[in-house]
Amino acid sequence: MKEILLLKDGEIVLKGLNRRQFEDVLKKNIKIALHGTGRYAITSAQSTIYVKPIDDEADLDEATERIGRVFGLVSYSRAAMCPEKTLESVLETAPVYLEKILRKAKTFKVEAKRSDKKFPYKSPEICRETGGVILSKYPHLRVDVHNPDVTVYVEIRDFGAYIHADPLRGAGGIPVGTGGKAVILISGGIDSPVAAYMMAKRGLKLTAVHFASPPYTSPRAEEKVVKLLSKVSRYAGDLKMITVPFTAIQEKLRDDCPEELFTIIMRRLMMQISERIAKDNDCAALVTGESLGQVASQTIGALNCTDEAAEMVVFRPLIGMDKQEIINIAYKIDTYETSIEPYEDCCTVFTPKHPRTKPILKFVKQAQEQAQFEPLIEEALQNLKVTHITPEMEI
């Protein structure tokens, strides 16, 4: 029995005259996501994207799993294609295709959608006839139109007739690449990978910037970040990771700046360096994983001091979330277990015992300017390391 994936557009249906552009990007992202699972014909009509295998070699199990991570889809279904667009073909296909799920269920109902108004039977007739055939094949079932164990969907569309059970929930959001480009400041912790996921969901194409301070941070810490980004890239698409050598800058920070301001000045330097990298990579915004009040560098006063260091807009998708909410998303995207591996990043280097929670911008800038970091920043920017991240990376 031939199968097809039916994908339902999400938020992009509201895009008016720009909708076609969003759909084109979405179809391109779907094609990329399905690479390596087989060959498909990908078309769209009536707020639905049709992913039809071209040959029998397609791995629809893997394809269905990957589709669930493509932003821009509200739901998706693996469906049977009826041999003919006739009621007889529907009645023959439905009980056979859904046999496994119907045998396990106790109740069911049928829903029909007749997009092709030339089809000779109306939706109530399709539901009645299909339900009757299913009851005759599976007499243990009973009809429950309010809370069924299984809903059998019959879709009569311009391209054919399709049968499927309850659709799966899509990743939501809008297609990656339709919201512009941004730099995500990525650490090895729990928060920043979640922030990357959330902004990719809003259509941003991301470039990751990571700060490494060997020998205070180990190569395993950087490998950990690559692993995290590989997991994020299953949703965000391929990523470029730019590693900044940060050791000399942090040592100068330790030697020449007041200890209570270490963290806030470090964050300012990270923002300034990331902004320069962003401009060089045609990015228009910065993204961080900060949550208000979580640590000393994430108070209102500290964030004000950090923001002043950069001209670009800074997106903080986690700003109003508590830690458990962030952890829940980390579990969902499979980054949590990697994030808690004991390989610390540069944010833990030279941590002050009593960080200033209400820093005064004038004094922060004065301390930073007196230390004269610019030569070290220029040197760091001349020695960046680029790593290309894909979902299939072996780490």
Strand residue runs (E) in 158-312 = 160-164, 168-169, 181-185, 205-212, 239-245, 285-287
Average pLDDT (361-381) is 95
Q: From 386, 15, 18, select the one nearest 207 (Cα to Cα).
A: 386
Chain segment 89-127, per-residue pLDDT in tens: 999 999 999 999 999 999 999 999 999 999 999 999 999
Q: Which of 104-108, 158-162, 259-263, 294-298 has the lowest mean pLDDT?
A: 294-298
Instruction: Compute φ and ψ for 134, nearest 5 degrees.
Output: -65, -40
- Cite the residue boundaries of each domain of the chain with CATH code 3.30.2130.30: 3-169
pLDDT in tens, 309-327: 999 999 999 999 999 999 9
What per-residue confidence (pLDDT) applies to 105? Answer: 96
Least confident of 7-16, 200-209, 374-383: 7-16
* Ranges of CATH 3.40.50.620 domains, the chain: 181-389
The answer, yes or no, to whether residue 239 has pLDDT greater than 80, is yes
Which residue type is seen at 183?
A: V
pLDDT > 80? residue 349: no
Helices 300-307 and 262-280 pack at an angle, to 10 degrees, of: 40
Quick one: 46 exposed, middle or buried, by C-beta within 10 A (0-12, 13-18, 19+)? middle
Output phi, psi for 391, to 5 deg: -65, -25
pLDDT higher than 70, residue 271: yes
The residue with tokens 């299909």 is: 130
The average pLDDT across 42-51 equals 90
Examine the pLDDT at 296 and tell me if it is beyond 80. Answer: no
Q: Which residue has the tokens 């808690």?
A: 340
Peptide bond just before 219 cis, omega within 30 deg: no
Phi, psi of 293 (to 5 degrees): 80, 5
Contacts of 314 (CB under 8 A, 6+ apart): 271, 285, 286, 287, 288, 306, 307
Given a cut of 60, whether residue 47 has pLDDT beyond it is: yes
Q: Is the pLDDT of residue 353 over 90?
A: no
pLDDT at residue 365, as a whole number: 94
User: How much is the average pLDDT of 21-35?
Assistant: 94
Using alpha carbons, list the distances in angstroms from residue 111 to 156, 166, 169.
11, 10, 18
How far is 255 from 93, CA to CA, in rounded Å?
75
Mean pLDDT in residue range 254-278: 94
Contact 103, 149 (CB under 8 A): no
| CATH class label, 181-389 | alpha beta
Which residue, 45, 42, 98, 90, is CA-closest to 70? 42
Question: Quick one: pLDDT at residue 155?
Answer: 96
In this prediction, residue 395 carries a pLDDT of 55
Mean pLDDT over residues 167-182, rounded? 96
The whole-chain average pLDDT of the chain stands at 93
Residue ranges with strand state E in the chain? 3-9, 40-45, 48-53, 73-81, 107-114, 142-143, 150-157, 160-164, 168-169, 181-185, 205-212, 239-245, 285-287, 313-315, 385-389
Please report the pLDDT score of residue 350 as a whole number: 76
Structure tokens at 219: 């190569």
In this predicted structure, what is the pLDDT of residue 110?
A: 97
Q: Which two tokens stand for residue 287?
A: 């993204």
- Name the token pair of 92: 């023959």
Q: HSE-up of 322 (CA within 13 Å, CB side)?
A: 1
What is residue 391's predicted lDDT score, i.e. its pLDDT? 87
For residues 66-93, average pLDDT = 96
**What is the mean predicted confidence (pLDDT) over 229-241?**
96
Domain 3-169 belongs in CATH node 3.10.580.10: no
Neighbours of 132 (CB within 10 A): 12
330-340 pLDDT, tens digit per residue, is 999 999 999 99
Separation between Cα atoms, residue 104 and residue 107, nearest integer Å: 10
First-to-final CA distance of the chain: 38
Per-residue exposure over 63-93, b if at least 16 CB sit within 10 Å of its own CB, e if not: bbebbbbbbbbbbbbbbbbbeebebebbbeb
3-state secondary structure of 348: helix
Instruction: Name which of 179, 172, 195 is nearest 69 in CA terms.
Output: 172
- Spatial separation of the C-alpha atoms in residues 317 and 87, rounded to whole Å: 49
pLDDT at 394 over 60: no
Counting Cα atoms < 13 Å in the Cβ hemisphere of 381 gives 18
d(Cα 69, Cα 74) in Å, to the nearest integer?
11
